[in-house]
């Protein structure tokens, strides 16, 4: 039958639902017999989606069960042209050809719907109903393809079923397979059902069906009834995301243990090889590189500017053949937004674009492309456009007294426009950052407003302690712009220091090293704010001194735990996506 609802795109994630308890734990396999693993495939047809069923078959082959059993609807039916019927079954046999273990068929209403289709099925597929044993397990395949309730099953099949159940009453476990789940309308409603009466009388342990293209299960009078959902026919995701799936059933001396596996969950062991990892990791880190950031004006606009991006395919032995696509927010203009691209293996290519923004600076556009890292394998690389704000650092006139009060004349033209990666609702209260220098020192200062001064959080006193969740300010300083070596320095309101040296390797990976700088710091706690002054000798940063005109790369932030908020000068802050703005020595 057609599925109960229309098709929605295939889910890619794993859902495994294990049933509570075991079924009939009294019926144990004989001592020494090995556990049996069984895969059960749901409906392929009824609005089937090409490729779904075949991918499930390939997953099952990877798992190597002892047996595979279908619950019917293997072809699209309802034609009485033997040539067409033959073609459809030959197509199906090609789909299941990868299976190297025994495969048992259950007739569905798309498989058997007329005397002609039934004759063809018996001749080329299997008997309409039959049974078989595996170890001390008994399996029964029934045919309800052309009836709509248990009472309509032909008497000769019921007589055969009764005799078969009686003859195999000593089986450790007995399983019944049939396409249509009559039990859902009868047994699950506490109504009489001819089949259920026989199953209870002769100790059937589990019944598996299909037809509805939706998964559901229940235990009635000690029998586990399960309807397998779609393995290829039309379907809708269940509320928990379960969509195209199949069953994996383990039978051992403790009982029957079924599980539901969503399609796309079983992968071959070589899904990622070491060689492929070495190829795509550099592509992820440095596959798209902006050699120079776009300059941001003081009013946070970007005038129409020509920019460049380098597609670094030099680490891949495969050519890059894809389309560059920009995701452009409403406030930005980027040209061209879409560009087909070809880059030979082991080479790089530079692309030119133009961009401007006249509204909010953030969010910025992102560019994405799919690099090839293996045969029929691609990795998506997406990076935000690189922009650079400018902050001014003023020369010191006289001496700076590090007392936290910020009353020297060098503390002027503060930076106050900050941003939050989580949007304006997660912004801190206002903060102002100041910069000054003399020939030997960089001076940093900040004033952070706080409407509830009694809420300030600062208890960490140990050097390099976990002060990141306290009231603090932080800096990322790269004095040699473009060197990819950054000094990360945080201070809490007690003056406790957390500092590290970070550098980016040529493959784009990031390393950290313990590094303890020397600072003179002082915090002042005021009526509605706290302020801090810092003196940082620059010799320890590898500089002989500071002179007018120098251009450093920098980023900075304030964290306010009372609001669970952070405010940053440039987004994103921190590695691996770090890109600072410019600090200009006036």
CATH assignment of the domain containing 320: 2.60.40.10
Distances (CA, A) of 363 to 217, 296, 327, 352: 47, 14, 10, 21
Q: Is residue 4 included in any domain, yes or no?
A: no
Residues 365 and 429 in one domain: no
Q: From first to last of the 586 residues of the chain, give the pLDDT tens digit.
A: 333 332 222 222 233 333 333 344 344 455 557 899 999 999 999 988 999 999 999 999 999 999 999 999 999 999 999 999 999 999 999 999 999 999 999 999 999 999 999 999 999 999 999 999 999 999 999 999 999 999 999 999 999 999 999 999 999 999 999 999 999 999 999 999 999 999 999 999 999 999 999 999 999 999 999 999 999 999 988 888 899 999 999 999 889 999 999 999 998 888 888 888 889 889 988 999 999 999 999 999 999 999 999 999 998 999 999 999 999 999 999 999 999 999 999 999 999 999 999 889 999 999 999 999 998 899 999 999 999 999 999 999 889 999 999 999 999 999 999 999 888 878 999 999 999 999 999 999 999 999 999 999 999 999 999 998 999 999 999 998 778 789 999 999 999 999 999 887 777 777 888 899 999 999 999 999 999 999 999 999 999 999 999 999 999 999 999 999 999 999 988 765 567 899 999 9
Residues 445 and 547 in one domain: yes
pLDDT at 50: 93
Q: Is residue 28 included in any domain, yes or no?
A: no
Residues 211 and 282 in one domain: no
Q: Which of 361, 387, 413 is the last residue of a domain?
A: 387
Residues 394 and 520 in one domain: yes
Residues 86 and 191 in one domain: yes
Residues 139 and 157 in one domain: yes
Q: Is residue 11 included in any domain, yes or no?
A: no
Q: Is residue 350 included in any domain, yes or no?
A: yes
Q: Which of 341, 357, 387 is the last residue of a domain?
A: 387
Q: Looking at residue 471, which CATH number applies to its domain?
A: 2.60.40.1190
Domains: count for the chain: 3
Q: Is residue 16 included in any domain, yes or no?
A: no
Q: Is the peptide bond before 363 cis (omega within 30 degrees of 0)?
A: yes
Residues 364 and 426 in one domain: no
Q: Which of 262, 297, 330 is the last residue of a domain?
A: 262
pLDDT at 189: 93
Phi first, then psi: what are they for 183, rounded to 5°? -60, -25
pLDDT at 578: 66
* CA-angle at 148, arms to 147 and 149, nearest 5°: 105
Q: Looking at residue 227, which CATH number applies to its domain?
A: 3.60.21.10
Residues 427 and 537 in one domain: yes
pLDDT at 30: 56
Phi first, then psi: what are they for 495, rounded to 5°? 85, 5
Residues 581 and 476 in one domain: yes
Q: Is residue 285 included in any domain, yes or no?
A: yes
Residues 203 and 297 in one domain: no
pLDDT at 27: 44
Asked whether the whole model's pTM tops 0.85, one would answer no
Distance in angstroms (rounded) separating the CA atoms of residues 233 and 215: 13
Domain range spanning residue 466? Answer: 389-585
Q: Is residue 5 included in any domain, yes or no?
A: no
Residue 302 contacts residue 294 (beta carbons within 8 Å): yes
pLDDT at 482: 76
User: Which one, of 563, 554, 565, lies nearest residue 479 by Cα?
Assistant: 554
pLDDT at 575: 66
Residues 380 and 400 in one domain: no
Residue 113 contacts residue 128 (beta carbons within 8 Å): no
Residues 363 and 447 in one domain: no
Q: Is residue 18 included in any domain, yes or no?
A: no
List helix spans (H) across 64-211. Answer: 82-95, 115-124, 155-167, 194-201
């Amino acid at each position: 039958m057609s599925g109960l609802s229309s098709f929605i795109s295939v889910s890619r994630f794993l859902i495994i639902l294990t049933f509570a308890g075991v079924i009939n734990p009294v019926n144990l396999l004989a001592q020494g017999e090995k556990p049996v693993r069984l895969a059960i495939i749901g409906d392929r047809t009824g609005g089937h989606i090409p490729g779904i069923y075949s991918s499930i078959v390939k997953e099952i082959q990877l798992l190597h069960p002892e047996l595979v059993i279908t619950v019917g609807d293997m072809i699209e039916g309802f034609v009485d042209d033997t040539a067409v019927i033959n073609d459809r079954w030959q197509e199906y046999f090609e789909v299941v050809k990868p299976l190297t273990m025994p495969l048992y068929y259950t007739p569905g209403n798309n498989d058997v719907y007329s005397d002609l289709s039934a004759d063809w099925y018996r001749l080329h597929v299997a008997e309409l109903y039959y049974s078989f044993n595996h170890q001390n397990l008994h399996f029964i395949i029934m045919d309800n393809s052309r009836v709509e309730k248990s009472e309509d099953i032909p008497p000769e099949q019921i007589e055969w079923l009764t005799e078969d159940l009686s003859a195999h009453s000593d089986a450790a476990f007995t399983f019944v397979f049939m396409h249509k789940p009559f039990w859902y309308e009868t047994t699950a409603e506490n109504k009489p059902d001819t089949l259920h009466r026989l199953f209870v009388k002769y100790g059937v342990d589990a019944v598996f069906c299909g037809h509805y293209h939706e998964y559901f299960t229940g235990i009635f009078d000690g029998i586990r009834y399960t309807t397998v959902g779609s393995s290829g026919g039309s379907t809708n995701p269940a509320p928990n995301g379960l969509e195209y799936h199949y069953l994996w059933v383990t039978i051992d001396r403790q009982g029957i243990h079924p599980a539901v596996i969503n399609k796309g969950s079983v992968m071959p062991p070589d899904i990622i090889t070491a060689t492929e990892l070495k190829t795509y990791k550099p592509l992820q880190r440095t596959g798209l590189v902006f050699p120079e950031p776009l300059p941001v004006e003081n009013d946070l606009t970007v005038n129409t500017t020509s920019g460049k991006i380098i597609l670094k395919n030099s680490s891949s032995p495969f050519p890059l053949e894809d389309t560059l696509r920009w995701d452009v927010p409403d406030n930005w203009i980027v040209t061209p937004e879409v560009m087909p691209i070809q880059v030979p293996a082991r080479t790089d290519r530079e692309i030119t674009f133009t961009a401007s923004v006249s509204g909010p600076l953030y969010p910025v556009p992102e560019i994405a492309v799919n690099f090839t890292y293996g045969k029929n394998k691609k990795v998506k690389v997406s990076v935000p456009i690189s922009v650079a704000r400018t902050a001014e650092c003023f020369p010191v006139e006289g001496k700076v007294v590090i007392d936290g009060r910020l009353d020297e004349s060098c503390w002027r033209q503060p930076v106050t426009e900050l941003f939050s990666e989580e949007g304006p609702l997660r912004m801190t209260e206002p903060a102002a950052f100041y910069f000054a220098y003399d020939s030997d020192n960089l001076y940093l200062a900040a004033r952070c407003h706080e409407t509830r001064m009694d809420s300030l959080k600062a208890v960490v006193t140990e050097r390099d302690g976990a002060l990141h969740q306290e009231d603090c300010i932080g800096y990322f300083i790269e004095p040699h712009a473009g060197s990819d070596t950054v000094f990360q320095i945080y201070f809490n309101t007690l003056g406790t220091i957390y500092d590290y040296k970070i550098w980016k390797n040529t493959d784009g990976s990031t390393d950290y090293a313990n590094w303890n700088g020397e600072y003179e710091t002082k915090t002042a706690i005021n009526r509605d704010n706290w302020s801090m002054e810092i003196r940082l000798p620059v010799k320890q940063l590898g500089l002989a001194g500071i002179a007018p005109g120098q251009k450093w790369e920098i980023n900075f932030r304030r964290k306010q735990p009372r609001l669970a908020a952070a405010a940053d000068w440039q987004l994103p802050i921190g590695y691996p996506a770090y890109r600072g703005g410019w600090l200009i020595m006036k």
